[in-house]
Structure 1
Amino acid sequence: MRLEMAKAEELLWKNNLLLLAAKYNIDAKKAGIEQAGLYANPSIFIDQSIFAEPTRRFFDFTRAGQTVYQIQQLFLLGGKIDKRIRVAELSAKMGEQEFYDLARALVSKLRRTLYFIHYYREAISFYDGSLEALEKTVSSAELAYKRRAILQAELLRLKALLFFLRKEREDLRIRVLEKEADLRVLLNEDKFMSLDIAFEPVLNQEFVENIEPGKLKISDILQTARQFRPDLKKAVQALRYEEANLELQHANAIPDLAFGPMYNRGGTAFQNYWGVTAQLNIPLFDRNQGNIKAAEKSVLVRKQELKNTILEVENDVNVALATAKAKDMLYRRFRNTYTKDYSDLAQDMILSYEKRYISILEFADFFETYRSSIVEMLRLQTDRMDAIEGVNYSVGSGVLVPNYKPSTESGRE
């Protein structure tokens, strides 16, 4: 099944279960903002006498009995509600950055997986072509051995080479199957779940060939990373969260006021008594000292963590860009050079061996060198694109991304 990167990314954002779970987590934290802004519920107090001595009646609700009604409303002082809302808002923003950090990792993994499958499938195709040619050579050698034209050792050497290539080909195929399994989990698309489906990533070859990490300036992408890295944004929000929490803990040291009306029938010097009640805790022993100190220390912790995150971001960008430049330079130096020469020479070497112009050792040595050069070049291309995607991941933004060319063939078998 052909699969374009643009289509794959669209399915990732739509179907990935981890992203869906992270979205629900954001909604849950946003609900905390609503909860933080709610006022306390009023409380109602009722006192009814069980036995009225003058009337000798139980639960006397008449004028001869005693009944007390009291309503109180708690008023939060010190701006506690606004500060609670601020803390909840920063918690929600941290949740959003966690979502974007997860998305950054998943998109990077998706792209790397597609690049891996593409180049390893090319390697498998090379092995298929080499195995076909070598199997013909082995068949010719078996006939020659029956005619006593070659030694058994020479035939066994060819068969060992054939076995080695088959084993390497199967190892590559298994790794592709593992990556395809990762792809199915990432995309979570029903039509991709069948194990009979093999993926053929469709890449923008013009982008792949023309991309040049060497043109990027480290100062520019560092500035971009400081602006877009979700984990750095989360570290900033975490510091602001602790600062807001410190303000809230100072506010919590201010006692709150409970206030409301009261009615007492038959329990005071007056038959029907109306009054006002007020309740205020005296901050004599508990002034929230412990929570304030803990919040102060948490601010210091977040400051150090933020500094460390900045250092990690700068280091990640430097290493990623240096790696991408090195891989790209190596690829540009050797692409379409000696591997092409080996490819042109391969058929000539097979014919030369069959005509006995070269020995088995020369043929085997050439074939192993030829195989190694082609496969290593394909691996270099994989490593190069992996390193290029590493730059995108380290920056937190697509500074080196393909220009998608929509195709109606994407997703077709």
Structure 2
Amino acid sequence: MRCTITTGQASRGPRKGRGWSLPLSLALWVLAPVSLASTLTLDDALRSARELSPELAAARWGTDIAAGERIQAGVLPNPELSWEVEDTRRRSQTTTVTLSQPIELGGKRGARIALSERDQAVAALELERRQNALHADVTAAFHDAARAQERLELAGQSLRLTERGLQVVQGRVRAGTASPIEATRAQVQVSQVRLEQQRAEQAVTVAHQQLAAAIGIAQAGFDRVEPLTKGLSPVPASEPLLDRLAQTADVRLASLQIDQSEAALGVARSQRIPDLTLSIGSQYDRAERERVNVLGVSVPLPLFDRNQGNVLAAARRADQSRDLRNGTELRVRSEVVQALAQWRSAGHEVRSFETSILPAAQQAVDVATRGFERGKFGFLDVLDAQRTLVEARTQYLAAQASGTDAQARIQRIFGDLTGTPL
């Protein structure tokens, strides 16, 4: 069962037009540190991460920063007011007041605006990439926490089996039908399994804390996460995903960075043309008691600095961005192919464990345990069957981890896979 409540704005600052919806477990952790048995679902974790993640919040501010830079790029240069006095003697001094206005030439303002608009688009894509990465990180951390809980449950089952075996052996020793060595061996096994359970408990604590960090909270406000369903999610078809490579945030960002570098080249080229400064003023000669108008035009002479170095660097950056775009597409394509292959392989392993390996291992433990209790098998036979089951369950969890890791890699590239053809 999952519940949500609505609270006030986050403490780090208000968000315009956005409420703050938290899962019940996380909200109660924020409001009061009470002891609460709560189960966190994946949907709640993702929803809370979108509201609480500092990295995502920083990416959102990046779009506002780019918007401010776009405004500044279109601002005209300010006029300049100057006042000059010639001759400090009052009767013979001349006073001049001048208003100067720089006039940008060479399309500098338009080039700045074009570059700032590309920067805005880059910031928006960075936000999209951060959202995809957050979705993948939280999903992976959630699955890690769920598997850690399964390992703890497996350790608990093993402990119950070994304690049960110890009781049977101790009863046989008291009846004189078994050697005390078997009781000692059973006691050692119980101690080892208890240590394994303690390690599993610590792993659950660490996994919960890592999930809390991925969500964006300082401390886990939940006791456990919702158990994973059996099997893995269906593997998407390769061709539809590969056809969407150009639409991924990584490739779109690399393509946009080509436009960004070309816009920066336009800015560098516009700087080669000097600006013109027009001035108009009034001059008053106190000795002659005469006022005259003053007009002026000034322009730098581009004899030495024609911004040639910056133009060359910007041109090479544009060439570099094209190669980086090609490299990004190759990298993303290779990662998609590898992740899909890993996902399929893990899916086959998981189905094999669920359909044949785990049931057979569990049946072997049940048969060995019943036979041991009836005196047909020795305690070593029970231990061997238990080790086989534990190893099979461990390998099963490793196969699940491999599959969910591949799924997270695909989600990091494409975002939410809902609706993707299978």
Superposition TM-score, scaled by structure 1 size? 0.85
Partners of 2:317 and 2:288 in 1: CA distance: 56
Matched, 1:312 2:331: yes
Residue 123 (structure 1) aligned to one of 125, 148, 151? 151
Q: Secondary structure at the match of 2:302?
A: coil
Q: Deviations over 1:124-155 (max 9, x none)?
A: 22321231132121123233334443223322
The CA deviation at 1:401 is 8.1
Q: Secondary structure at the match of 2:76?
A: coil
Residue 15 (structure 1) aligned to one of 13, 36, 52? 52
Matched, 1:223 2:243: yes
Aligned to 1:390: 409
Residue 138 (structure 1) aligned to one of 162, 166, 175? 166
The CA deviation at 1:340 is 1.7
Residue 241 (structure 1) aligned to one of 256, 260, 265? 260
Q: Deviations over 1:49-74 (max 9, x none)?
A: 4533xxxx4xx6xxx64210111000
The CA deviation at 1:212 is 2.4
Matched, 1:46 2:83: yes
Residue 164 (structure 1) aligned to one of 192, 198, 216? 192
In 1, are the aligned partners of 2:152 and 2:201 still within 8 Å (CA)? yes
For the structure 1 residues 269 and 310, does the alpha-carbon distance in structure 2 shift closer, same or farther, using more than 3 Å as the test? Answer: farther
Aligned to 1:83: 111
Matched, 1:101 2:129: yes
Aligned to 2:223: 198
Partners of 2:209 and 2:245 in 1: CA distance: 31
In 1, are the aligned partners of 2:208 and 2:220 still within 8 Å (CA)? no
Structure ID, larger Rg: 1
Matched, 1:365 2:358: no
Q: Equivalences for 1:167-316 in 2 at 5 Å?
A: 167-189=195-217, 193-194=220-221, 197-201=222-226, 205=229, 209=231, 211-213=233-235, 216-228=236-248, 230-266=249-285, 271-316=290-335
Residue 2 (structure 1) aligned to one of 30, 35, 39? 39
Q: Deviations over 1:109-128 (max 9, x none)?
A: 11111122223322322321
For the structure 1 residues 249 and 103, does the alpha-carbon distance in structure 2 shift closer, same or farther, using more than 3 Å as the test? Answer: same
Q: Deviations over 1:241-282 (max 9, x none)?
A: 111111111110011010121211118999211131111112
Which amino acid in the other structure matches residue 42 of structure 1? P
Partners of 1:219 and 1:269 in 2: CA distance: 89
In 2, are the aligned partners of 1:242 and 1:302 still within 8 Å (CA)? yes
The CA deviation at 1:209 is 4.4
Partners of 1:400 and 1:153 in 2: CA distance: 58
Partners of 2:227 and 2:392 in 1: CA distance: 24
Aligned to 1:328: 347
For the structure 1 residues 72 and 268, does the alpha-carbon distance in structure 2 shift closer, same or farther, using more than 3 Å as the test? Answer: farther
The CA deviation at 1:158 is 2.2
How many equivalent residue pairs? 383
> 1 or 2 for the larger relative contact order (CA 8 Å, sep ≥6)?
1
Cα root mean square deviation, aligned: 2.4
Structure 2: give runs of 5+ residues left out of the alignment.
Answer: 1-37
For the structure 1 residues 268 and 158, does the alpha-carbon distance in structure 2 shift closer, same or farther, using more than 3 Å as the test? Answer: farther
Q: Secondary structure at the match of 2:102?
A: strand
In 2, are the aligned partners of 1:115 and 1:386 still within 8 Å (CA)? no
Partners of 1:182 and 1:120 in 2: CA distance: 12
Partners of 2:64 and 2:77 in 1: CA distance: 23
Partners of 1:152 and 1:105 in 2: CA distance: 58
Q: Deviations over 1:219-247 (max 9, x none)?
A: 3211223202x232222222211111111
In 2, are the aligned partners of 1:3 and 1:202 still within 8 Å (CA)? no
Structure 1: give runs of 5+ residues left out of the alignment.
Answer: 403-413
In 2, are the aligned partners of 1:252 and 1:288 still within 8 Å (CA)? yes
